[in-house]
Amino acid sequence: MIDICDGIIMPGGYRIYNFYEYVVKIAIEKNMPVLGTCLGMQVLAKVDNGFNCLEKNETNINHVQKGVKYAHKVKILNDTLLKDITNKDEIEVNSKHNYHVLKVNNFKASAYSEDGLIEAIELPGKDFVIGVQWHPEKMIDYDENANKLFDQFIFECLKNKKTKHQSA
């Protein structure tokens, strides 16, 4: 089933199921575009670390703000795909997560919240494997950076589809 996909979106949620990890591992092996949002980013980190590397949020920022357009700012690091996509040093994001990623190994943290939590990760050496702790899908109607992220994901999916058809 994964082979018929041109890319994978790992959405948010409340529980990491084993098959999420399986899908992510296969997609990464195949260099498929992967976009993880909120829990989806946490799945990417779990696959990277080989264990659950999450911790309950206990900082000065309330990271669980449902129905709020922008909850806090995120600092984007240089030399990252996320920086290339947004062309910004800092963006505002929504926030609805109770847990955060403590660390990454093979992935690279590409953005941090003002309180120092990892807010985005990406996998160097792959065309497009990005996880963001926020919910860009909820921001499509009003946020250019959310649209840029999805536009790039779709572009990478179309590129992957073309590559699969040329090699078939």
List the pLDDT tens digit at each of the 168 positions of the chain.
889 999 999 999 888 888 999 999 999 999 999 999 999 999 999 999 887 776 677 777 777 888 899 999 999 999 999 999 999 999 999 998 888 898 999 999 999 999 999 999 999 999 999 999 999 999 999 999 999 999 999 999 999 998 876 775
Question: Of 63, 100, 135, 157, which residue is the catalytic one?
Answer: 135
Q: Give the per-residue pLDDT at 66.
A: 87
Question: Of 21, 92, 114, 137, which residue is the catalytic one?
Answer: 137
Question: Catalytic site residue 72?
Answer: no
Question: Of 38, 53, 100, 119, which residue is the catalytic one?
Answer: 38
Distance CA 164, CA 166 (A): 6
Q: Give the per-residue pLDDT at 154.
A: 98
Q: CA of 107: how far to CAs of 1, 36, 72, 99, in Å?
A: 25, 13, 23, 18
CATH of domain 8-135: 3.40.50.880
Q: So where are the chain's domains?
A: 8-135
Question: Catalytic site residue 137?
Answer: yes
Question: Catalytic site residue 135?
Answer: yes
Q: Give the per-residue pLDDT at 14.
A: 87
Q: What is the pTM of this model?
A: 0.93
Q: Give the per-residue pLDDT at 83.
A: 98
Q: Give the per-residue pLDDT at 55.
A: 64
With residues binned 3-state (H G I as helix, E B as strand, rest as coil), the percentages for the chain, rounded to 5, are 35, 25, 40
Q: Give the per-residue pLDDT at 107.
A: 97
Containing 153, the helix (H) or strand (E) segment is helix 144-167
